[in-house]
Amino acid sequence: MAWKKSPPELIAAFEKATPADPSVTSRPMFGYPALFLKGNMFAGTYQDKIVVRFGDDRTFPGAKTAKEYLVVPEAVVKSPAKLRSWIDHAHGYAKTLPAKKAR
């Protein structure tokens, strides 16, 4: 099965929701835009979805889970304020993680 590129409008919404923290870096993960803090990915796009890393926190209703990551529901993606809230929550979780060592 071939991977699909993320639609430009999804990438634009994702980029607008990026935290203003200067420690946050943006770089591709598996060819998709992703956000990192201290070397830890905490949000990214994957095909036509946005995923966020919440750890064990599963209090956000309507999200599908994949280990520590949640797939952001489409209704949240379509609301800039809600999407920013989800990405900010993931950013807060990333702040609790130890820095990854450079390879």
Angle at which helix 8-16 crosses helix 80-95, to 10 degrees, equals: 60
Tokens of 49: 């979805």
pTM over 0.95: no
Per-10-residue mean pLDDT, the chain, length 103 = 88 97 96 97 96 83 78 95 96 96 78
Task: Show Cβ contacts of residue 68 under 8 Å, excluding neighbours closer than 6 positions.
Answer: 53, 54, 55, 56
